[in-house]
Amino acid sequence: MANFSKVSVAPDARTELHDKLSLTGAEISINNLPAGACVPFIHAHKNNEEIYAVLDGKGKAVIDGETVELAAGDWLRISPAARRQFFASEDTAISFICIQVKENSLGEYTRDDAIV
């Protein structure tokens, strides 16, 4: 068995990578909202923080009632308990990656975890 997984994905509305890449420590999804669209629910988490990377376009997140404007190049971290919902702008689509990991689970950073 190889020590890596590789997959190519289509630009679907949402692609979850946990099964496709056999992820064991994180959940990663790729999300594409057309102009004027939104994630159709507000949600929070029990244990997982989320890290968002905006790849293209613009929109906003409403987090605990506060509006946060988003554009390509932005990174956003949201704690588990925060209630959130994402929106594309009215005239521009938005594409983003969402990475979920258990809050406070990072034991070592890149340099400390590396074997050279």
Domains of the chain: 27-104 (2.60.120.10)
Query: In terms of residues, how long is the chain?
Result: 116
Torsion of CA 108, 48, 21, 41, to 10 degrees: -150
**Closest alpha carbon to 72 in 51, 57, 50:** 57
Give the pLDDT of the chain (116 residues) as one tens digit per residue.
589 999 999 989 999 999 999 999 999 999 999 999 999 999 999 999 999 999 999 999 999 999 999 999 999 999 999 999 999 999 999 999 999 999 999 888 888 888 88
pLDDT at residue 1, rounded to an integer: 57
- φ and ψ of 112, to 5 deg: -70, -25
The whole-model pTM stands at: 0.91
